[in-house]
Structure 1
Amino acid sequence: MPAGAARADNPVVQTIYTADPAPMVYNGRVYLYTGHDEDGSTYFTMKDWRVFSSADMVNWTDHGSPMSISTFSWASQDAWAGHTVYRNGKFYWYVPVKDRASGQMAIGVGVSTSPTGPFSDALGRPLVRNGEIDPNVFIDDDGQAYLYWGNPNLWYVKLNSDMISYSGSPTQIPLTTAGFGTRTGNASRPTLYEEAPWVYKRGSLYYNVYAAKCCSEYIAYSTAPGPTGPWTFRGTVMPTQGSSFTNHPGIVDFNGGSYFFYHNGALPGGGGFTRSVAVEKFSYNADGTIPVMNMTTTGAPQIGTLNPYVRQEAETIAWESGVETEPSTEGGMNVGFIENGDYIKVKGVGFGSGASSFSARVASAASGGRIELRLGGTGGTLVGTCTVPGTGGWQSWTTVTCPVSGATGTQDLYLRFTGGSGNLFNVNWWQF
């Protein structure tokens, strides 16, 4: 890859195609819940959901797929855009799937006691079903939770405190041009609202950020004095761009900053059905309005540094080339499908006064290879090389250690993999 691309950190995941970001802050990390576009898709062919997390907004850990269509026995297909919230010591993941019995899109709920799952079907049936999609849940200051969803309409219902039942009936939010802007050339859809509502509160103001117009979509927003309106159209958050004809917003505050997540088609092979999640840091204007943002390859700045002297999962990645991840027999995920010249970049590693050795948990059903430890780039300063032996299996794990010299200060670390042809070895974790 050209050096410029190697320095980029957007999209935040490069091992698979991801879509429809739903960020959630929990216990000092941002958890990112996404859809998963299958390689080579020519439609929204989506079979499972994925979870990633980060403490620094640049190095993202892959937690695999804790929920899929098969989680819901009543669902037939379409693992589309969901949203996760934490309440009562549990994590609730609201997702649109196709209901086998009716053939309609319906909203199901997965539940887990861990942010990374596994998730199980909380109800054994849909929570609501009216053929519409894109659930979003907001818990107000008074404890009342609201479920929003809809395309072509916009609906809400008040959730009970158990988060898996509701009071009253689903109610349509009036889609007025004052509330959601004016769309031209589509008599059946007079407003800009398309889909993907993301409702939250900041101060005394309620925000609804959503995908606008079609197709191609952009991101717009409206505000209101209350969680159900009346809404006032406020304008554009992100103009149409980025080689995907859909977009999907998610906004969180984390560690004193505000972050806007979206998707595009920026990866190789990317497009409208092979999308990738990206993120920008932003600051609200003094009057509470959201600034207009454009997609970048830079992404968000790093918060702090990454500590190399504690065990780091190999699937904690700022940027990579050529590798994939898979479930590990030792728990979590490992990096695999490593071939000669592939690499992983870990950004902003705080070596301090210097590292003396490097250890990695590795496995190989082939003859192994080498891990080159380089600083600043794939051709950067070589501070150590670890030899990986054949171990007799892709999940037959052993730990290798090698000396390190010259790794000091804060550096971008590149794990560059070398060896013969074909798949070389797998890596589960590493530590200096």
Structure 2
Amino acid sequence: MKKVYYIAALSLAFSLLSQGVCHADNPVVQTMYTTDPAPMVYNGTCYLYTGHDEDKSTWYTMNDWRCYSSTDMVNWTDHGSPLSYKTFSWAKGDAWAGQCIPRNGKFYYYVPVTQKSGGMAIGVAVSNSPTGPFVDALGHPLAFTGTGDIDPTVFIDDNGQAYLYWGNPNLFYVKLNQDMISYSGNIVQVPLTTSGFGARTGKSDKRLTLYEEGPWFYKRNGMYYMVYAAGGIPEYISYSTSKSPTGPWTYRGVIMPSQGGSFTNHPGVIDFKGHSYFFYHNGALPGGGGFTRSVCIEEFKYNPDGTFPTINMTKTGVSGTGNLNPYVRNEAETICWESNVKTESCSEGGMDVCNITNNSWIKVKGVNFGSGATSFDARVASVNAGGNIELHLDSPTGTLIGTCPVKNTGGWQSWVTNSCKVNKVSGIHDLYLKFTGSSNSYLFNVDYWQFSGGNATPTNPTNPTTLNNGWYRIKNVHAEKYLQVADNIGRATQNVEIDSSSGTDGQKWYLNNIGNGLITLKSALGNFMLDVCGGANDDGTKVEIYNAYGHTPQQFSLKPSSSGNSYVITTMCSNGTKALDDANYATNDGSNVCEWSCTGGDNQSWVFEPTNN
């Protein structure tokens, strides 16, 4: 992220070069301007952390960071803002490029902000959930040199040693301690040699090498990669490699040429579900430019020797890694592409889609209707006359399979569930939710939607076991710790984990038999149920609590395990093929619980201990 000095006229010139947008899949987010991508793979999900350029910015006006997630790389769920510069009491602004990483059952977000005392510094925030909220871990900066302390990148090596790199115009690093919020030794300045980072020519800022800013540090097949914005305005992306995490480095060339009309760039690189992805930003959205940027993704393949091919920016984006299941709850803010909608915080937890006007629409890519859907539900709210949700296949004007009416509900956050029949549809299609109405103002808000029929009814669990309705504490056999809501906070999307016995409400669950061998588990913290995030059927899916509505993501069955008087808790969004899992056989307090393919092991075995509420 370029934050230093250049000619204002040049900035304006590049801001006029933004690309037009067709109905492709780049940029990834269209509801706002996003920048400085930092992807993180965790438990079968790609989390995308970004900066946020404010609308109509004429400078780097950035007040918070945003978080999105996807299990298929094309449909992205908006989780809102997990962190703001205001989270840091010692900061006064500038939520610039950062990176998040998991460790010790927690998530550490390294970000630069401007200190109230002056100068940029690196802070660190921590959360029990990848989607936040994050809190300041220290109450003061983690690292400060007084010279361009921006753009941190973090990596944990195979031996457990973590490294934090950052900087513009210099490149610094420290060795982080196991706690991830302190470091050992001194801050080290990397020698920026021309052999390590390329020779700069024809520039007036007197830097000797191509290194500019925005480093992205990782390891692959025994090789360490440093990918970074290079060359000055307009920036391109180059990279260097090393056999050691601290160098010496060898310059390898340009990955992405100067393109896209944003005059800065920032890389992020991951491997996910057998594919390699390159993240970057440009000015491709309407109104886009150097201060209103947008995150994009390209798929690529490494050369046989591990070097990068040339990667050019496209509007096409990437192909999906799977199909979306319409027979579970799907958040309205899970979007591949949209036209004229926004997102906001929802009173029922998470986010909702708002600012809907006549002929606004949302595209959801690769929806697998299986043998055929017959009905549609949507959670909606409106102050005005409402309108309709038209369900189209493969384009906003494609085959109309159903129309769901929406009326005034008494408030923009007064939610009701509306239903409609649909013409039976099967197979895989792009789904367009097209919003229509006669009002000249906003029509209604949408929280989530779900189809029924076809594959809607899960396969009944094999030989389900029934326990009496009532309150239980649920103990993991392997860890000998209890299923609990993180931090004992009753809030939609709050993470579920294991912890030592405490007797708090966060460790109490009401088991309710709902028929056909299925149960729900309601938290004692309020009207929240144990929930598989997004109703996903993927190993590593987050387990959380969510507003109690009792649909498939909140339905489970019990199967006797081989570990004595204990049970495997299988998920119905997987048709009973996956179970609640003590991730990685962890035993630490606060260790994560996720959905994972059934093994019947001790880490998937749970003892139900009756208790009082």
Bin for the TM-score computed over the shorter chain: over 0.9
Amino acid at match of 1:318: C
Matches within 5 A, 1:249-264: 249-264=267-282
Matched position secondary structure for 1:263: strand
Match of 2:103 in 1: 87
Question: Do structure 1's residue 394 and structure 2's residue 412 form an aligned pair?
Answer: yes
Task: Return the alpha-carbon distance in structure 2 between the equivalents of residues 304 and 197 of structure 1.
Answer: 30
Post-superposition offset of 1:185:
2.7
2-structure distance, mates of 1:381, 1:105: 53
Report matched runs for 1:168-207 at 5 Å: 168-186=185-203, 188-207=206-225
1:116 aligns with 2:131: yes
Q: Could you tell me which residue of structure 1 aligns to residue 532 of structure 2?
A: none
Counterpart contact for 2:21–2:286, Cα < 8 Å = no
The Cα shift of 1:264 comes to: 0.3
**What is the aligned partner in structure 1 of residue 450 from structure 2?**
431
Structure 2 residue 312 is matched with structure 1 residue 294? yes
Give distance in 2, aligned partners of 1:212 and 1:69: 27
**Which residue of 1 is the match for residue 528 of structure 2?**
none
CA contact (8 A) 1:353 1:409 kept: yes
Contact 1:104/1:130 (CA < 8 Å) preserved in 2? no
The residue that corresponds to 1:343 in the other structure is 361
The residue correspondences of 1:409-428 to structure 2 (distance < 5 A) are 409-420=427-438, 421-428=440-447
Secondary structure of the corresponding residue to residue 377 of structure 2:
strand
Provide TM-score, normalisation by structure 2: 0.69
For residue 459 of structure 2, what is the aligned residue in structure 1? Answer: none
- Specify the alignment match of 2:93 in structure 1: 77
Where does residue 236 of structure 2 map in the other structure? 218
CA contact (8 A) 1:322 1:343 kept: yes
CA contact under 8 A between 2:21 and 2:285: conserved in structure 1?
A: no
Q: Deviations over 1:358-389 (max 9, x none)?
A: 00000001111000000010110000000001
Whole-angstrom CA distance in 1 between matches of 2:71 and 2:413 = 28
For structure 1, the residue ranges without an aligned partner over 5 or more in a row are none
1:161 matches 2:158: no
Q: Does 1:68 align with 2:87?
A: no
Q: How far 1:130 sits from its partner (Å)?
A: 1.9
Equivalent position of 1:232 in the other structure: 250
Q: Write out the 4+ residue segments of structure 1 that deviate beyond 6 Å after TM superposition.
A: none
**Which amino acid is 2:450 matched to?**
Q
Q: Of 130, 147, 153, which aligns to 1:136?
A: 153
3-state SS of paired residue (1:356): strand
Compute the displacement of 1:68 (Å).
Answer: 0.3
- Equivalent residues in 2 for 1:302-381, closer than 5 Å: 302-381=320-399
1:322–1:338 contact (8 Å) kept in structure 2? yes
Match of 1:50 in 2: 66
Q: How many residues align?
A: 428
Q: Matched residues in 1 for 2:306 and 2:157: separation?
A: 18
Using the TM superposition, give the Cα deviation of residue 353 of structure 1 relative to its aligned residue in structure 2, in angstroms. Answer: 1.2
Read off the aligned partner of 1:31 and give its amino acid letter.
Answer: Y
Per-residue CA distance 1:148-190 (angstroms, 9 max, x = gap): 0000000001000000000011001100000000111346201
Report if the CA contact (8 A) 1:22-1:250 is conserved.
Answer: yes
The amino acid across from 1:304 in the alignment is G
Contact 1:11 1:267 in 2 (8 A): yes
Q: Relative contact order (alpha carbons < 8 A, sep ≥ 6): 1 or 2 greater?
A: 1
The question of whether the paired residues in 2 share the 8 Å contact of 1:6 and 1:319 is answered with no
Amino acid aligned to 1:43: W
Q: Secondary structure at the match of 2:213?
A: strand
Q: Which residue of 2 aligns with 1:384?
A: 402
